[in-house]
Amino acid sequence: MRTTKFFDSLEELNIFAAGKIVEISNASIHSRGNFTITLAGGSTPKSLYQLLSNDEYKNKIDWSEVFFFFGDERNVLPGDAESNFRMANENLFTTLEISDKNIFRWQTEFKNAEITAVNYELTISKFYEDNNKSIVTMNDCDCPRFDLILLGMGADGHTASLFPFTEALNETEKITAANRVEKFDTTRLTLTFPVINDARNVIFLVKGADKAEALYEVLEGNFQPEKYPAQAVKPVEGNLLWLIDTEAARLLK
């Protein structure tokens, strides 16, 4: 089920998003003993992570029972300015004093994207097996069921590192992929659509006028997931929530 909400400012969007994360995390910890969340990179989530780590929110969640994963990563060292892990570490993990055992990042030290992707798939699978977490077969994929996946959307309609007309869009068996992105002359690391669509909750955070045209196509245009990959996010049994600021929403009917 898709729900869409609009906000006049990023601050309002973040306050709502933080409240949803508190709600979902506490429900997950109550019913399953812990909470698994997949973080998004980029500029929009950064301020959300800062909000979650301030005094108003940090005591509303039992962070010792929260396990963090990443939806995608650049193939750079974890201390690189472009690293999604570094951004989350500086704005969330360090402030909240999250234990290293609760953080599962892409091991980009290998510098080989294919090896890093395989290792991350093994890391995720081992965590789920060790903690008796849900593994669901979707098509050809034995997928972990994350409690919450946070996503952003680019001005080209990509989400995570699933870019238009790239090979990973059609991956059905693996839960991770090393995805070659020709327009950036690089290979990105990403979770695949089977995993995303198996999540209990997916939340999109979309801000900025530069996203307006792609957002219109994703939400109201013809179904063209190869061109607008975010269209392919359709949780099978989970909740899909779009949180959008008014600048990004300016073309929506």
Q: What is the CATH number for 198?
A: 3.40.50.1360
Flag whether pLDDT at 162 surpasses 60.
yes
Q: Stretch 113-132: mean pLDDT, rounded?
A: 92
Q: Stretch 164-171: mean pLDDT, rounded?
A: 98
Would residue 70 count as lying in a domain? yes
Would residue 82 count as lying in a domain? yes
**Confidence at residue 130, expressed as pLDDT on a 0 to 100 scale:** 85
**Confidence at residue 129, expressed as pLDDT on a 0 to 100 scale:** 87
Would residue 209 count as lying in a domain? yes
**Confidence at residue 133, expressed as pLDDT on a 0 to 100 scale:** 61
**Confidence at residue 81, expressed as pLDDT on a 0 to 100 scale:** 96
Flag whether pLDDT at 250 surpasses 70.
yes
- The model's confidence at residue 42, banded by pLDDT at 50, 70 and 90, is confident
Of residues 221 and 142, more confidence is placed in 221
Would residue 250 count as lying in a domain? no
Total number of domains in the chain: 1
Q: Which structural domain, as residue segments, surrounds residue 213? A: 2-245
Residues 64 and 220: their CA atoms lie apart, in Å, by 40
Would residue 253 count as lying in a domain? no
- Reported as a single tens digit per residue, the pLDDT across 16-40 is 999 999 999 999 999 999 999 999 9
Would residue 189 count as lying in a domain? yes
Flag whether pLDDT at 134 surpasses 80.
no
SS3 for the chain is CEEEEEECCHHHHHHHHHHHHHHHHHHHHHHHCCEEEEECCCHHHHHHHHHHCCHHHHCCCCHHHEEEEECEEECCCCCCCCCHHHHHHHHHHHHHCCCHHHECCCCHHHCCHHHHHHHHHHHHHHHHHHCCCCEEEECCEEEECCCEEEECCCCCCCECCECCCCHHHHCCCCCEEEEEEHHHCEEEEEECHHHHCCCCEEEEEECCHHHHHHHHHHHHCCCCCCCCHHHHCCCCCCEEEEEEECCCCCCCC
pTM of the model: 0.96
Q: Stretch 113-123: mean pLDDT, rounded?
A: 97
Would residue 252 count as lying in a domain? no
Would residue 24 count as lying in a domain? yes
Q: Stretch 136-145: mean pLDDT, rounded?
A: 67
Flag whether pLDDT at 199 surpasses 60.
yes
**Confidence at residue 140, expressed as pLDDT on a 0 to 100 scale:** 59
**Confidence at residue 142, expressed as pLDDT on a 0 to 100 scale:** 76
Tell me what percent of the residues of the chain surpass a pLDDT of 70. Answer: 96
- The model's confidence at residue 131, banded by pLDDT at 50, 70 and 90, is confident
Flag whether pLDDT at 12 surpasses 60.
yes
Tell me what percent of the residues of the chain surpass a pLDDT of 90. Answer: 91
Of residues 131 and 63, more confidence is placed in 63
pLDDT averaged over the chain? Answer: 95
